[in-house]
Structure 1
Amino acid sequence: MRDLKEKWIGLIKTKKGKGILLGVVIIILVILVGVLYINKDKTLQLNKETVKIEYGKTYNPNLKDIVKSYDDFNSKDLKLESTIKNEEGKEYPSVGKYEIKVTYKKQEVTQKVEVKDTTKPELTVPENIEILQGTDLSTFDFKSLLNATDLSELKDYEIDYSKVDANTVGEYEVNVSIQDKYENKTDAKVKATVIEKPTINDDEVVVQEVVTNEDGTKTVKNSVKKQAEATDKKVVSNSNNTNKNTTSSSTTTGGSTSTSGNTSSSNKNNSSSSSSNSSNSNNGSSSSKPSSGSNNSNNSGSSSSNSGSSSTGGSTSTSHTHIAVGNSGKWVSSYSEVEKAFDDILDYWDKKYKNGEIDYQTLLQKCPIGYTNVHSCTCGKITWDWQYS
């Protein structure tokens, strides 16, 4: 044994022996480092700390999409937990903040996910909208001619028609905008063309129609139809106003023209509402709604004296010294009030019919189908006649 030990010591002292010893030491160190590396846990890291998703998109990542150097980990020890849930009834999450948590043994990292709505609503508007001269723009239904879509809840349309002079024929511009609940806003401009009110016969009406152009755009046009052909159309006027400017104020709605005294011409041509005439109904139900207390005197016989007052259908007129009150028995201050009075009278008679207080024939006799002879006094008040079938 002593001889063997002395031989090893002698070998180490030689150059060759020293090289062998150094090699053995290096091999041992490499093995030790390898063992330590294999047993050491990898540091868990995310590819992205924060992710932003547009509302309407989905985000369901896999571990290999989230974790850096995914292949260096034992996938069995990697776990993913997500708070992302789809909005009720939809296939994508609602706007909000979410988290995706990844764990590996004792390590844990969290990815933040934010769903935001930055997309503007889609707004479709007509290429051109025809408007009858004299139309009260405050009652013109612009909204029904527009179409907006968005994944989020939309606010109401903002419509600016301040540049439109409805009493003067010509082309104008209407500004339209719409925004969603997250303040994403879309603007559009619409050409509005004011046209003369056409002359029509007693059995005709002016209807509003949406026409598709060759290039796919839409145009809103007004055309003259027979009443019998317009039951499913939007009637904008049943007046035969010729739009003639005279030295007297001439205003027509729903029928013939009435001239009042020697006053300046306002020539306001307000379109009257005419619901699909109840006399055209074959099933006994009325689509027209009448007004409270109105008597069907098919002649416009209600009048007031120059100094007194007259009452028709339960509505008392005030004293006017220039023109007689119409068979409506009312004086109002604006065309919108005429429209409201028409709606009220329709509601009144419609309720009576539905409640069984009157029969269908009585409804046809009592319920006006529109209004006509709208004219104003020099004091600024307006009166009119009910039009019956």
Structure 2
Amino acid sequence: MALTHVPPVLVDDLIPIILESDDHWWPRDFQRLALISPSWVHPVRKRLYARPSLRSFRACKLFARTLQENPDLLPYLSGVDLRPVADGRNVLDEQEMHSLRVILGLNGLREVTLGGDLAVSAQQFLHVMSNTRTITSLHIDGHSAADLDDDFCRSPINPQFHTLPSLDWDDVVAFRFPFLQNLTLSNVTLSVHPSMMDRPGALESLALNNVEIADGSLLPDLQGAWDRLRSLRVVGKASDEMDENVRAMLEVCEGLEELHYESVEMSSHPSLFDDDEPVPLPGLQRLCLAGFDANPHTLDAIASACPALTHLAVLGRMVRVSPELWRAFLKSGAVPHLQQLVSPAGTMAPPFTYWTLAQTQELRDACRARGVGLAVGSGIACSISD
């Protein structure tokens, strides 16, 4: 009796596991996977439409048409990443404008990113959004628009305005996002208008990356209450004005747990912890200082101001702490709860001198003796991981 070969059958329960095994699927991959069998359609749609990323106005137009013709796709949407660029055109056609209104008017979105041409006078696109109470994460990114020539840096809605990426934050904008938890502003000029009334205060995370504050101040006008803020990230050119803004926020953010403050210029600008009286941060657990002038006094001030630190990163080519001083800092137990240290790979003597393998190993041994993980890097990019 001949045996019949039975082809292996893929258990449907394995499909989500297969899709989650790789974070770098391309849309074309999803399209092919959805054609395998009906069992693949729902898991693929769930991944493909969770947070679509659109980089052109044509893509926005096609996506809006797809949603209008297939309303069953709407429940899959949790966010959108819109960074369209008009390719030198100063005016959008009627269909492109309609597609933007459709996408920005979607109900139930939780995460929204506006970039490209939508970061030019970004507040006008925030006003177009009609269902904002569900949004908990907002990112305005002017990177693409900032890279364009001035002739192309125009608002697609108001082409007579010839401007760079910018955002005006006022009462109208603030009250449109009453449950906003995460706000990220990148490569934009920010104008903060004085508040005429108490603004909602639900922010838990604020990130400012290359943001120029043209008018107003972060405190108190950007947000009504800061007691819920847990993470603050500021990256940009070091200046006394930015220091003042960050210092003022640290004084009121009593629940802050993570601070990342990075200067992108290699200068001798001191850090906030080199003040005569640094702001005490008793609840801070994760701290990254990068690009600032740091010395042994800086470490002592950090230990005094942040007794609960578990993760510490001090990076850049202006760090004037030798391996011997790092070892002494660790052995002193000044930061008793420290679990991870990220240090530069050298010391500004001057000049900046890289450590030898023996010096690095001695520091690694000192960390191991205290139960502290060590990561050594030469740049100013700061990454603190568990």
Q: TM-score range by the shorter chain?
A: under 0.3
- Of Structure 1 and Structure 2, the greater helix share is in 2
Task: Give TM-score, length-normalised by structure 2.
Answer: 0.22
- Of Structure 1 and Structure 2, the greater strand share is in 1
Structure with the greater relative contact order (CA < 8 A, sep ≥ 6): 1 or 2? Answer: 1
Task: Give TM-score, length-normalised by structure 1.
Answer: 0.22
